[in-house]
């Protein structure tokens, strides 16, 4: 499994970032069983709109990425009866071998320095997971279709 961050001109103006992303797609298609796609533009928008950060830093973007990676791999790091693994996730989520690119929604979102938390109900958490503002890729899924879907 890989976590791939797609570059954005909003976040960085490094010339080679789009080339690196484009040239890596073939390797991801051929040599990876699961790819979790994370978009720098979506991370930037989450920091600006949802977390209300006026000038997001790479530390803020990395905090979101680390929260997503931690959430996806929790079942690997802690024992439990309902736990799964990445192999089972791939078996259940990948309908065709080349369609193994996952879009990640994450909830609840908190900023890096947040120390206050509130209780969130299951319906509210579910609504947040599928809200385009909580997707780690800049895409609106409300009008689209899901091939597969999982809440981890």
Q: What is the mean pLDDT of residues 76-102?
A: 83
As given in the structure block, the two tokens for residue 132 are 């385009």
pLDDT digits (tens, 9 = 90+) for 4-61: 999 888 788 788 988 999 999 999 999 999 999 999 999 999 999 988 899 999 999 9
Structural domains for the chain? 2-134 (3.40.50.1440)
Residue 146 is predicted with a pLDDT of: 78
* Cα angle, residue 103 at apex, residues 140 and 79 outer, rounded to 5°: 140
In sequence order, what are the residues at sequence separation of 6 or more whose Cβ sits closer than 8 angstroms to the Cβ of residue 2?
Answer: 28, 32, 34, 35, 36
Residue 83 pLDDT level (bands cut at 50, 70, 90): low
The rounded mean pLDDT for the chain is 87
Global confidence as pTM: 0.85
């Amino acid at each position: 499994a890989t976590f791939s961050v797609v570059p954005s001109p909003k976040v960085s103006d490094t010339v080679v970032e789009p080339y690196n992303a484009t040239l890596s797609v073939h390797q991801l298609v051929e040599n990876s069983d699961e790819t979790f796609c994370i978009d720098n533009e979506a991370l930037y928008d989450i920091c600006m709109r949802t977390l209300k950060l006026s000038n997001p830093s790479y530390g803020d973007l990395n905090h979101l990425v680390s929260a997503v990676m931690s959430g996806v791999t929790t079942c690997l790091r802690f024992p439990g009866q309902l736990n799964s693994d990445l192999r089972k996730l791939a078996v259940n989520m990948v309908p065709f071998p080349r369609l193994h690119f996952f879009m990640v929604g994450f909830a609840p979102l908190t900023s890096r320095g947040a120390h206050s938390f509130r209780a969130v109900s299951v319906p509210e958490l579910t609504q947040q997971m599928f809200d385009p503002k909580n997707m780690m890729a800049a895409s609106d899924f409300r009008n689209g279709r899901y091939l597969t879907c999982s809440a981890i």
